[in-house]
Amino acid sequence: MERNSLSQSAPSTNPEKRFYHRLLSIFSGIPIPVTDMDRRRFIRRNLIFHFRPQTVAQQSLRFTLSWGLGGMAAVLIAVQLTSGILLKFAYDPAPIAAHASIQVMITTAPFGRLIRNIHFWSANLLVPVVFLHMLRVFLTGAFHPPRQFNWIIGLFQFALILGANFTGYLLPWDQLAYWAVTVSTGMLEYIPLIGPGLRNLILAGPHIGPSTLRQFYVLHTAVIPVFLALFMAFHFWRVRKAGGLAVADRDKDKQVPSIPDLLVRETATALALLAFILSISVFFNAPLGDPANPGLSPNPTKAPWYFAGFQEILFHIHPVFAVFVIPLASGLFLLLIPYFPYDDPVSGRWFISPKGKKHP
């Protein structure tokens, strides 16, 4: 017994392994354990529970500080992944069979319609929830140091969520989806120089066809979810490293244990959100129109609701400004917000005001 315990806690004598451990420590900024006991402790504390601090600031538990939006987004993404995996068992990513496979799914598969409804409504709810979460971060100044890079990560996550919704929009292969994607990708041609090539790259050809559906299916079910999960894990880790939610006067605020104080609030918010999604999914079905017909466009033809603003702007200003200049300028502005000089970079207060610091 003594020999086994000594062998588990003794440092590794392999020079190559020790070299790699030291190299990882230098680049990651995290002390990489060498012994088996330290390694297990490292995995338990830093990889599995890296998003769960032992204590949190009592001020951060106020619902009106975060409105639970970050946790709601995480729950919705988990619902998306779970329901999406179930839908893959019945879906056939081929133009001839895609629409028919969904019809079979919602009419004959056990709970098929309900699962599709849950997937559809949670996807549409995810976009405004993440937008409101980022708006809350902006209005409370939670993008100031040491959270600048986490704001950038959040922007990339929002872009991935929009990409997931857009690629999933085509999968039903009905008239609404086909022509909505046609309109959305057609706006890319107004981008100078690279517009037509970018459109062909997204559609895997000059027009929407079987290659487009396969490409959207792979992006929607494999590529985007993997990157989104990686960004989420890194995002949670950065929040943990920054000390949790941004609050005013953290040093003067009382620390309370995460379990049960934080866990109870997160669980209650998640259960309320799940009940809301389930209620909507029971009473309102996800739309499914007639099979896609490239020769007959509906009137009017609209882009998905989260891209409808660009389509509307096209009627009022020059297309180059509508789909290129304005989005590019807005994206650069959002990326640079954390790095602008600020006279009073205070985080954790609504509108950076003394009144915003007070409890409601």
- Say yes or no: 12 and 97 in one domain: no
- Say yes or no: 80 and 1 in one domain: no
Tell me the average pLDDT across 296-319: 85
**Any domain includes 44:** no
- Say yes or no: 64 and 30 in one domain: no
Is it the case that residue 270 has pLDDT exceeding 70?
A: yes
**Any domain includes 45:** no
pTM, entire model: 0.83
- Say yes or no: 157 and 292 in one domain: yes
What pLDDT is attached to residue 240?
A: 81
**Residue 46: pLDDT band with limits 50, 70, 90:** low
| Sign of the four-CA dihedral 181, 183, 186, 188 | negative
Tell me the average pLDDT across 40-63: 68
| Sign of the four-CA dihedral 343, 347, 351, 357 | negative
Q: Of the segments 24-28, 31-35, 188-192, 252-256, which one has the largest average pLDDT value?
A: 188-192
Percent of the chain with pLDDT over 90: 50
- Say yes or no: 173 and 250 in one domain: yes
Question: Which range of residues forms the domain containing residue 270?
Answer: 59-357
**Residue 33: pLDDT band with limits 50, 70, 90:** low
Tell me the average pLDDT across 14-39: 56
- Say yes or no: 120 and 166 in one domain: yes
Tell me the average pLDDT across 317-343: 90
- Say yes or no: 105 and 188 in one domain: yes
What confidence tens digit (pLDDT) does each residue in 143-202 have? 888 888 999 999 999 999 999 999 999 999 999 999 999 999 999 999 998 999 999 999
**Any domain includes 321:** yes
What pLDDT is attached to residue 61?
A: 82
What pLDDT is attached to residue 272?
A: 96
**Any domain includes 164:** yes
**Any domain includes 140:** yes
- Say yes or no: 245 and 329 in one domain: yes
* 302, HSE (Cβ side, Cα atoms, 13 Å): 8
- Which of these, 301, 91, 287, lies nearest to 185 by C-alpha position? 301
- Say yes or no: 1 and 136 in one domain: no
**Any domain includes 25:** yes
**Residue 12: pLDDT band with limits 50, 70, 90:** very low
- The residue ranking higher by pLDDT, 311 or 338, is 338
**Residue 269: pLDDT band with limits 50, 70, 90:** very high
**Any domain includes 185:** yes
User: Which residues have CB under 8 Å from 165's CB, separation 6+?
Assistant: 123, 124, 126, 127, 304, 306
- Say yes or no: 32 and 70 in one domain: no
In whole numbers, what is the pLDDT of the chain averaged over residues? 84
Is it the case that residue 44 has pLDDT exceeding 90?
A: no
**Any domain includes 46:** no
- Say yes or no: 28 and 80 in one domain: no
- Say yes or no: 16 and 139 in one domain: no
**Residue 21: pLDDT band with limits 50, 70, 90:** low
Q: Count how many domains the chain has.
A: 2
What pLDDT is attached to residue 2?
A: 42
CA dist list (Å): 78 to 64, 227, 229: 24, 14, 10
Is it the case that residue 14 has pLDDT exceeding 70?
A: no
Is it the case that residue 320 has pLDDT exceeding 70?
A: yes
What confidence tens digit (pLDDT) does each residue in 239-263 have? 888 877 877 766 566 788 877 888 8
Give me the helices (H) in the chain, please.
Answer: 2-9, 15-28, 36-42, 63-66, 69-88, 95-107, 112-139, 148-170, 175-186, 195-203, 210-218, 224-241, 263-283, 308-313, 319-320, 326-336, 354-357
